[in-house]
Amino acid sequence: MGLTSDNLLLDAAHNYLSRGWRVIPTVKKIPCVAYKEAGLDRIVPGHPDFEETFLTLFERHPEAEGIALILTEDDCVLDLDSPRAEDEFRNIVVNAVGIKTARGSKFLFTRAPYFNSIDSPITLLHCSGGCHKFKIRDDAEIILGGMLCELPPGLHKNGTFRYEWIKGPDSGISRTKLNFADPFSEIPDVIFSEICSHGDTLRNEQRGFAPGELEELLQGVAEGEGRNTAAIRIAGHYIGKNTAWVDIELLLEGWNRKNRPPMSRKEMDGILQSAKKMYTEKQEAESKKQTLSGYRTVSDSELEEIKNTHDTLRLNLDLPDDHFVTQFVEWSDSLNDGYREYKIITAFWLLSALVQQKVYSRWSTGTIYPNVWTFLIGPSTISRKTTVIDNGRDIYISATGNKIPDTDYSLEGYAESLVETPVLNCVRDEVSTLLSKMGQKYNDGYFEFECSMYDGKSYVKTLASKGKGQPQTFVVENTYITKLYATTPVKLASSMSTRAFDSGFGFRFLYACPSYSRELKGHRKLTDEDTKKWASIMERTRNIYNIFKEAPLIAFEIDDDAEIFYSEKTLEILNKLANEEFCNETLLAVWGRLEAYIIKLAMLIEIGKPQISLKISLDSLLIAFSMVCNYFVPSTISVYNQLLEDTKFNNIEKIIAELRKMRGVATHKELLNRCKLVAKDFNECVETMNESEAIEIVIAKSKNNKEAKTYLLKDENVNIVPKEVFNLERIISTFQIPQGRQVPQVLRVSNEEDSSENLETLNNFNELDRTLNNTNIKEEDQESIECAIPQSNNSQGLQIFSLGSNVSYPENLGTLADLRNLRSMKVSDIHDVKVTENPEDVLEFLEKEGF
C-alpha cells in the first residue's frame, strides 16, 4: 500500500485541496485515473464537490505512491535535471516555489495572460504552439497547463527518493473559491521568451511548405504518416490567410475523406476543435490589435507625469509669512517631507487647542466655537502622518505643560472623564483601534454622544446602583473637544463604517487624504537653525495659550460685508443643493456639517495673526470659504465614497481601489495580477469602466519600443462635487460689497449708544483688567511693545494682542495694560473722541497708527 501508516499522501491531499490545488494519486509518475477523460482538469475551486471529488480518488487507489498537481492553463513548471542547469537558472528561481527531485529540481510559476507584445488573455499553450511539454536545453524542460507535476511527499518512480520542498507554498496565498491567486512566482521574462520562441518555431515549421508539399498533403495522408500534424499544418496555413472558418472546416472534412483510411469521427472532432481554437484566438488577437490602434500612445515620461499629477486636490492657503499657520508649516517643512495638507490642518488644530473654549461666535442658528476635528489619512511610513502629528503634539505639550490623554475610554468612562475635564484635546496617530471599539455593541450610542460633545450640548447619564445604594447621575456640559486623528485608508475602511457617518460623527471631521507624488527626504541631524525655529514657534504657541488661559469668554465679531457674504453665499449653496439637478443626500450631509467650519477656520485665522484679532474680516472669511469648498467638501465625500466601496463582491470597485493604490496608472498585466480576477470578468469590467469614462485606455510605449496596454484612472476629485455649486471664483464674482464700507475708526462709545453688545464687551475688559492687576508688568516691557490699534466702532473688534515670536507673556500683558488706560477713561471722555470725516485726515491717522 502506498499510503504510510500516518496517511502521508492523504494528509497532503487535504492540505493541497484546501488551497484549491487539483491533485490526483499516481504510481511511478503514472496517474491512477484518466483525469482528462474524467474531466478533472475542468473542475475549478468553488465547485460544490471540489474537495470530495479529488479525495475520493485517493481513497479508491490505496496503491498510490505519489501525488500530482494538475497544472492550470496559466501554470508553468521549469524542470532542471542537472546541477549545471540549476546553476544556469539560479538567478530567476531564487524566489520561486521549488521542489527537490531525484536528479535536480523543478520550480513552479504562474502568469497573467499575454497578448503578443501587448497584454491580453491569450493562453500559454497558444504561445508555445500548442505544446504542453518541451525541452529548452538537454537538461531543462518546460511543462505547461494540463500536464502533471509531482508534489511532496510523493515517492519517485525509483522507489527510494521522496520529493521535498525547497521553498514551500506556505509563504504565499492559496487558491480559494473566489480567488485564483497562488504562491507561485510570476513567470520570468526569460522563460516566457523561451515559450514564445518555441511556439514561433513550431508555427513556422507547420505553416511553411516546400514547393508542391501542400498540394500533396491535400490529396490525403496514409495512417502512420503524421496525419494529425498534417491536419494542423493545413489548418494553420488557411487560418494565416484569414480564410473563413466554415471554409476551413469543409476543407478539412474533405481532406479526411481522402486519407487512407479516414480518421475516426472522434479523432477528427479533436482536430477540428484544436483548429477552431487556433482560428478563434487569431480572430481575437486581430480584433484586439485593431482596437488598440485607436488608443493614444504615451511615453514612459508622460506616464510618470500622469502619476505625479493624478491627485489634483490640494489645500492651498494664501496667508502672510508671519501668520502662525505659515510659520508652523515652514518649521515642519524644514524637518520632514510630510504632506503639506497634514501640516496645515495640524496647525489649525493647534490653534484650536490653544484657544481653550474662550472665544465663540453667535449666530441665529446657534453658537459656534472654534474647536476642530481633523483626520489625516495616508499610507504607512511614506505619508509621514505620525511625524507631522508629533510636531503638533510636542509643541502643544512643551508650550503649555499639559498632558494629552491617550486612554481608549468606554462610552461611560468617556462621559465621566468629561465631567471633570470638559475641555479636552484628543490626539491619536493611529486611531483605528479606538474607532473599532466605538462601533462595538457595548458602546452603542458612542457616535451620537460624540456629536453632542462636538456641539457642546449637555448630556445627563444615570448609572445603575448595582445594589450599592442610589443610582449615580452625572452631567456633562460646556464641552470643548478638539481631535487630531490619523490612520491608513485600509485601516479606516476596516474600523469605520458608513454608520459612523450616518450618525453625523464622520461628517464632523476635516479630512486630509493626499496621494500626489512629492519629493521624499532622508534623515539628517538637527542643526542650530532647527533649534531656533523650534524655539520661535514654541514661544509664540506659549504666548497664545497663556493669553487665552487668563481671558474670559469673548464674543467674536464679524465685519458687515463678511457677515453678508457668509449669509448670502451659504444660503445660495444650500438652495442649489436642494434643487433636483444637484440634490444628493451625501452632499447635503457634508455641507450641513462643514459650513460651520467656515466660521471656525475664519476665527482661527484671525487668532493666528501676529496681532490677534477678535473680528472676522472678509479676507479671512474668503480663505476659510475656499478651504471648505475647494478642499474639505471634496475630501470628505471622497473618504465617504471609499467606505461605500464593496471591493469583495464588486469587481469594478475592486479594480478602482487597486488602481488608486497604484497612483492611477497600471498596465493590463499589473492590474490583472493585483485584482486576482478571471481574465474574462476583468476585461468586461474595464470595458465598462472605459465606456463610463472612469478610466482611459492608452498604449504605453517604453524606450525600447515595447508596447503595453495601460489603464489610467480619471481624477476622481475633478467631478466629485458640482462646479456649478462650489465654484468659489464665481461665488465671489457675484458678490457685491456693500457701498459705503466703513474704514476702521477709533472706538466710540456714548451713553445714548450703550447697547447690550457694548456692555458685554466692557464686562470682558473688566475681566481682563482683573488679570492685569494681578500681574507684575515692567515699565520697559510696556514701552517695547506696540500699542493695540482700535479697529472699529465696537471694542470687540480690537486687535488687542501683539505676538512677535520673540515676545514673552508678561510683555503681551503689557499690551493689554494700554487697554487698561483706555478702559479707565470716563465714558464722557470716550464720547468726546472725534472721528474726522475728511479722507486726508483719515489716511494720516491710519499711517500714524501703523495701518
**For the residues 809-814, what does the mean pLDDT come to?**
36
Mean pLDDT, range 142-170, rounded to an integer:
89
CA contacts within 13 A on the Cβ side of 445: 10
Please give the pLDDT value at position 169: 77
What pLDDT does residue 776 have? 40
Q: Where does the pLDDT of residue 387 fall: very low under 50, low under 70, confident under 90, or very high at 90 and above?
A: very high
pLDDT at 320 over 50: yes
| Edge-first strand listing for the sheet containing 554-555 | 366-368, 359-363, 554-555
For the ranges 167-176, 576-585, 613-622, which has the lowest average pLDDT? 167-176
Rounded to an integer, the average pLDDT of 678-685 is 86
Dump pLDDT digits (tens) for 470-480.
Answer: 677 778 999 99
- Is the model's pLDDT at 645 over the cut of 90? no
Long-range contacts formed by 53-56: CB under 8 A, 24+ apart: 54/13, 54/17, 54/22, 54/23, 54/24, 55/10, 55/13, 55/14, 55/17
Greater model confidence, 192 or 625? 625
| Residue 810: predicted pLDDT | 35
C-alpha cell at 497: 463604517
Residue 42 cell numbers, joined: 475542468
| Greatest Cα pair distance in the chain | 129
Per-residue pLDDT, averaged over 768-783, amounts to 41
**In a 3-state reduction of DSSP, which class is residue 346?**
helix
Lowest mean pLDDT among 181-195, 288-302, 522-536: 288-302
Q: pLDDT of 433-454, one tens digit each?
A: 999 999 888 888 899 999 999 9
> Cell for 670?
499589473
Tell me the three cell numbers of residue 236. 494553420
Looking at the predicted structure, is the pLDDT value of residue 773 above 50?
no
- Which of the four pLDDT bands, split at 50, 70 and 90, describes residue 729? low
Q: Could you give the CA distance from residue 162 to residue 746 in angstroms, rounded to a whole number? A: 98
1: CB partners within 8 A, 6+ apart = 62, 63
Lowest-confidence segment of 66-70, 187-191, 787-791 by average pLDDT: 787-791
* 539 pLDDT higher than 70: yes
pLDDT at 688 over 80: yes
Q: What is the pLDDT of residue 346?
A: 97
Label residues 681-695 b or e (16+ Cβ within 10 Å = b).
Answer: ebbebbeebeeeebb
- Calpha distance 501→559 (Å, rounded): 34
Looking at residue 332, what is its pLDDT? 95
CA–CA gap between residue 306 and residue 663 (Å, rounded): 9
In this predicted structure, the answer to whether residue 606 has a pLDDT above a threshold of 90 is yes
**Residue 117 pLDDT more than 70?**
no
The DSSP H or E segment spanning 403 is none
- Which residues in 524-538 are b (16+ Cβ under 10 Å) and which e? eeeeeeeeebbeebb
Residue 126 has pLDDT above 80, yes or no: no
- Judged against a pLDDT cut of 80, whether residue 284 lies above it is answered with no
Length of the chain: 851
The phi-psi region of residue 548 (left if phi > 0; otherwise alpha if psi is between -120 and 50; otherwise beta) is alpha
The pLDDT, as a whole number, for residue 512 is 95
**What average pLDDT does this structure show over 545-550?**
92
Residue 130: band (very low, low, confident or very high) from pLDDT cuts 50, 70, 90: confident
Lowest-confidence region among 320-324, 510-514, 640-644? 640-644
User: Which cell goes with 159?
Assistant: 522507489
**What number of other Cβ atoms are within 10 A of residue 807's Cβ?**
21
The CA distance from 536 to 806, in Å, is 7
Sign of CA dihedral 123, 188, 75, 20: negative
The grid coordinates of residue 147 equal 500536464
Question: Could you give the C-alpha distances from 403 to 101, 396, 397, 479, in angstroms and in order?
Answer: 64, 9, 6, 18
What is the average pLDDT score of the chain? 79
At 270, the pLDDT band (50, 70, 90 cuts) reads confident
The pLDDT score that the predictor gives to residue 486 is 96
pLDDT (tens digit per residue) in 735-750: 655 543 433 332 222 3
Confidence class for position 316, pLDDT limits 50, 70, 90: confident
Query: For residues 221 and 133, is the Cβ–Cβ distance under 8 A?
Result: no
Of the pLDDT bands very low, low, confident and very high (cuts 50, 70, 90), residue 217 is confident
C-alpha grid cell, residue 97: 516555489
First-to-final CA distance of the chain: 101
Query: What beta strand segments (E) does 478-633 contain?
Result: 480-487, 510-512, 554-555, 557-558, 611-613, 615-616
> What average pLDDT score do residues 357-366 get?
93
Is the pLDDT assigned to residue 180 strictly greater than 50?
no
Higher local confidence (pLDDT), 338 or 832: 338
DSSP string covering 195-257: HHHHHHHHHHHHH---TTHHHHHTT--BTTS-HHHHHHHHHHHHHHTT--HHHHHHHHHHHHH
Contact 690, 696 (CB under 8 A): yes
- Per-residue pLDDT at 212 exceeds 60: yes
> What whole-number distance in Å separates Cα of residue 101 and Cα of residue 108?
13
Q: Over 90: is that where the pLDDT of 369 sits?
A: yes
C-alpha cell at position 88: 544556469
pLDDT value at position 756? 42
Which pLDDT value is given to residue 796?
Answer: 35
Tell me the backbone φ, ψ of residue 341, rounded to 5 degrees: -60, -40
Say what the pLDDT of residue 177 is. 31
- Is pLDDT above 80 for 370? yes
**C-beta separation of 193 from 184 below 8 A:** no
For the chain, the 3-state helix, strand and coil shares in percent, each to the nearest 5, are: 50, 15, 35
At residue 761 the predicted structure's pLDDT band, cuts being 50, 70 and 90, is very low
Residue 448's pLDDT is 92
pLDDT at position 441 is 87
Kindly report which listed range (101-105, 290-294, 590-594, 618-622) carries the lowest average pLDDT score: 290-294
| Beta-ladder partners of 665 | 712
Amino acid at 156: H
pLDDT digits (tens, 9 = 90+) for 504-517: 999 999 999 998 88
pLDDT computed for residue 334 by the predictor: 93
Which stretch of 36-40, 367-371, 379-383, 487-491 has the lowest confidence by average pLDDT? Answer: 36-40
With cut-offs at 50, 70 and 90, classify the pLDDT of residue 614. very high
Tell me the pLDDT tens digit for each residue of 700-716.
887 777 778 899 988 76
pLDDT value at position 736?
58
The b-or-e profile of 27-56 (16+ CB within 10 A means b, else e) is: beeebbeebeeeebbebebeeeebbebbbe
